[in-house]
Structure 1
Amino acid sequence: MPTTRLSFKDMCAEFDVTPRTLRYYEYIELLQPERDGRSRFYHAREVARMKLIMRGRKFGFSLEDIRQWLDLYDTTEKNTAQMQAWIELADAQMGELTSRRDQIEEAISELQALRDQVAKGL
């Protein structure tokens, strides 16, 4: 299995993030790249963590929630209380996303009706 080793630039390109974003994730210690002088290199662990960060952002989680998620993946012994807390967090986020979806669907319906009404008047 080839070893993944991405440069800073490659990591930004791979995940379509700005250098500022990647540096911020390092600053808040979500990522810990290997340093060689001024260069940074990201191995498989950091790439996997970045995938989880991006997934968490896509789901709408805060960076602190994502940190807890990453901590869960990093521990060799799975703590039942920690996993239960994560399930509750995920359930709350799913409720939030469902609510947003419902609001968007309602807005789309209203906009469609208004558009159709204006188009009919032409």
Structure 2
Amino acid sequence: MTDKAVSTIAELARDFGVTARTIRFYEAEGMISPERQGSQRLYHPRDRVRLKLILRGKRLGFSLAEIREIIDLYDSAPGERGQLDFFLDMIEKRRVDLEQKRRDIDLTLSELAEVERNCRNRLSELAKGREQA
């Protein structure tokens, strides 16, 4: 990624592997706010950090509202400490949710395996019945 003071939308999109449309969406949502020079958007390091946090939050499965809340906490009291405490709470909730989903998936896979075994056994019984007939 480029380490410069100001980036264009094309540079930011390239650096983060997203489309300009994605960046404009986060701008429309008020999550990043580039400087405007005529029709050109200029993104400062703060916008770059915010976009990085947004994309990381999405990868971790947080909703846009949750990501917004995490990011906005940085600019309000108690600042970064409050943001990090809140983020740790969100991480714990996400982890619990994912672990439950993993248990649910494991149970479903187990049930599928049992149903598959029963189907194969029944097919085998039916095939033997045809051989004897």
Give the structure-2-normalised TM-score. Answer: 0.68
- Larger Rg, first or second structure (1 or 2): 2
Q: 3-state DSSP class of the match of 2:43? A: strand
Q: 1:5 is aligned with what amino acid?
A: V
Q: 3-state DSSP class of the match of 1:47? A: helix
Paired residue total? 117
Unaligned runs of 5+ in 1: none
Unaligned runs of 5+ in 2: 121-133
CA shift at 1:85, angstroms?
Answer: 4.6
Q: Name 1:27's counterpart in structure 2.
A: 28
CA shift at 1:99, angstroms?
Answer: 2.6
Q: More relative contact order in 1 or in 2 (CA 8 Å, sep 6+)?
A: 1
Distance 1:39 1:106, change over 3 A: farther
Give the structure-1-normalised TM-score. Answer: 0.73
Richer in strand (by share) = 1
**Percent of aligned pairs with the same amino acid:** 34
**CA-based RMSD:** 3.0
Distance 1:22 1:81, change over 3 A: closer
Q: 3-state DSSP class of the match of 1:91? A: helix
